[in-house]
Amino acid sequence: MPHKPFLLGSGTADIARSAAILKSGGLVAFPTETVYGLGADATNGEAVARIFEAKGRPRFNPLISHVAAAEDARRLGVFDAAADKLAAAFWPGPLTLVLRRRADCPVSLLASAGLETIAVRVPGHPLARALLAAAERPVAAPSANRSGAISPTAAAHVLASLGDRIDAILDGGAATVGIESTVIDLSGEGPVLLRPGGVPRAAIEALAGALAAPRPGAPLNAPGLLASHYAPGLPLRLEAKAAKPEEALLAFGAPVPRGAALTLNLSARGDLTEAAANLFAHLHALDRPDLAAIAVMPIPNEGLGEAINDRLRRAAAPR
Ligand code: TXA
Ligand code: MG
């Protein structure tokens, strides 16, 4: 239901109110020094799903987890020497590091789009840091604009683009950097520049050595096409109406066909937001080498269902 979000300032009460909204699973747009972010509790899969819903993204791409301090980032990803150096030099600031997820990383797999890596950043804007400290959890946030629109550098841009789809906007004035953070992938052999941004390449290369370009054919905005993207070991059988005893069944809604070796339901009540939140975790759990395939019940292609089906088709593609 369309509604007007609270437009909040930078006072202590505004920050506390925004943090409470985040903790209860709501969406808060907040300023960073690069662009405004559309934030949700990164550890809450349904809250993360609402980000994709609000942005109207037809597919899931991985989101940056924002934290108040480098110590908090260490609980999410695996730091090597290069990560230590870059974090010390550029955080808080417009730098995002893509790291391997720690085994105990609490961030929803949906925020990582099912990848085994996690993007983390400590933003420099004081209001962002105050919000993150008050939220006491990582906050997943893409730029706060509708899919395909320009990144917002003022609260008014967010209001115009997403005003009827979010719970609150923290107004911190104009974003000073105005372009998104530089994204460096440290999860592989050497550092890779995934996206140029607020920290110039030369400043990073001075500390971490030469930055490689992303592999050709691995467009950043189509992470589902990355070779490293999580795909189940088992083949997927889409639009399944019945289940076989040697299959795992990824169900949706009710009634659920019986007879699969193992069944997990994305959402027994047929809720697409809940289904998106469960998608990657359920695929992981069903991907058992002793089974023959994952049968997937039909999922309506509306709302978040479009992104869910996009991801399932990619996972089902021959490789
Ligand atoms: O400045 C910024 O980075 C802003 C503010 C709000 O922090 N955020 C932002 O988020 O630009 P977004 O979602 O529009 O862009 C995040 C970029 C995307 O290009 C995404 O593909 C990449 O980071 N990314 C996130 N997680 C990744 C991962 N695990 N592996 C590879 N790329 C990742
Ligand atoms: Mg963006």
- Structure letter (DSSP) for residue 176: S
Q: What is the pLDDT of residue 223?
A: 44
Measured in degrees and rounded to the nearest 5, phi and psi for residue 274 equal -65, -40
How far, CA to CA in Å, does 132 sit from each of 21, 40, 41, 253? Answer: 12, 11, 10, 35
**CB-ligand 1 contact for 265 (6 Å cutoff):** no
Give the residue carrying structure tokens 């009634």.
Answer: 255
| Higher local confidence (pLDDT), 241 or 305 | 241
pTM: 0.87
Return the ligand number nearest the Cα of 221: 1
At 249-294, the pLDDT tens digits run 999 999 999 999 999 999 999 999 899 888 888 988 999 999 999 9
DSSP for 60-122, written as a single string:
----EEE-SSHHHHHTTB---HHHHHHHHHH-SSSEEEEEEBPTT--S-TTTTTT-SEEEEE-
Residue pair 59/310 in contact by the 8 Å Cβ criterion = yes
Query: What's the rounded mean pLDDT across residues 77-100?
Result: 98
Query: Which of 37-41, 214-218, 249-253 has the lowest average pLDDT?
Result: 214-218
Residue 222 reports pLDDT greater than 60: no
Look at the block and give the residue holding tokens 């949906």.
110
Confidence of residue 217 (pLDDT cuts 50, 70, 90): low
Per-residue pLDDT, averaged over 218-224, amounts to 43
- Listing DSSP states for 188-209 in one string gives SSS-EEEE--SS-HHHHHHHH-
Percentage with pLDDT > 70 across the chain: 94
Exposure class string for 216-244: b at 16+ Cβ within 10 A, else e = eebeeeebbebeebbbbebebbbebeebb
Q: How far is CA 181 from CA 53, 199, 310, in A?
A: 23, 7, 27
Beta carbon of 124 within 6 Å of any ligand 1 atom: no
Single-letter code of the amino acid located at 55: K
Find out whether the beta carbon of 35 lies less than 6 Å from any atom of ligand 1: yes
How many angstroms is it from 140 CA to the middle of ligand 2? 13
From 28, 96, 228, the mutation candidate for ligand 1 (largest count of ligand atoms within 8 A of CB) is: 96
DSSP code, position 318:
-
Please state at what angle helix 45-55 crosses helix 272-286, rounded to 10 degrees: 120
C-alpha of residue 149 to centroid of ligand 2, in Å: 8
Pick from 37-41, 84-88, 151-155: least confident = 151-155
